[in-house]
Copies of this chain bind each other. A is one copy, B any other.
Amino acid sequence: MNTKDKIMDVALHMFSERGYEAVSIRDICGSVGIKESTLYYHFKNKKDILDSLVNKFKDHIDGLLSHISEIPEKPSKKLKKSDVAASKLIDTYMMDSYLFDPFCNLMIRLMMIEQFHNDEIRVLYEKTLFTDPYNIYMNVFRRLSSQGVFPEEQVESIVRRYHAYMTMLTFKHLLNGDLTDKRKKAYAKEVHELMCGTLI
């Protein structure tokens, strides 16, 4: 990893744990192992580090979203509730590539803290934690509905419920402390159980 990437990596870890304001340039440089003046060779100022992280995240998200819309869900013959709950698309994209992805996970925490100080981040936060997931769930459950799993008219209420659960569990499990395998498993388990217990 080159110096610039190292700085972004360290900054992301620190910002997502203590917040942008509470992390000093000294802290970052100390951890990266460079002098403060060196940092300013790579970034215009402190804000520029944050902006770079945000832009990297935006690109990352755009990549994921365009990926999702391309890949069609294979029509399965007989879906059990547990299949639905664990819909591969959701497992793969929402969890593996997003909530569980180390970079995204830290960015979400960072956005959660910084939404209160930074308008651009608030908008991004609302998009990536509320609007985008909602649309993805709609997309997924509509497909499932078209495969006869639910009547069309239930899709929306199911999606709302699903979304509410995912959101609450995300806040509960994924946004503080390290993202350990244990946490991830607990989260996935609770998502699936909740859904199986309440679907339809």
A residues near B, CB below 8 A? 17-19, 21-22, 109, 112-113, 115-117, 122, 130, 157, 160-161, 163-165, 167-168, 171-172, 176, 194, 197-198
Contacts and interface: CB of A to CB of B under 8 A. Distances in A.
A116 B109 contact: yes
A194 B158 CA distance: 11
A36 B161 CA distance: 50
A194 B19 contact: no
Contacts of A160: 165, 194, 197-198
A115 B176 contact: yes
A22 B168 CA distance: 28
Nearest to A160: B194
A18 B117 contact: yes
A117 B14 CA distance: 11
A21 to B, nearest CB: 5
A194 B157 CA distance: 8
Contacts of A194: 160
A151 to B, nearest CB: 15
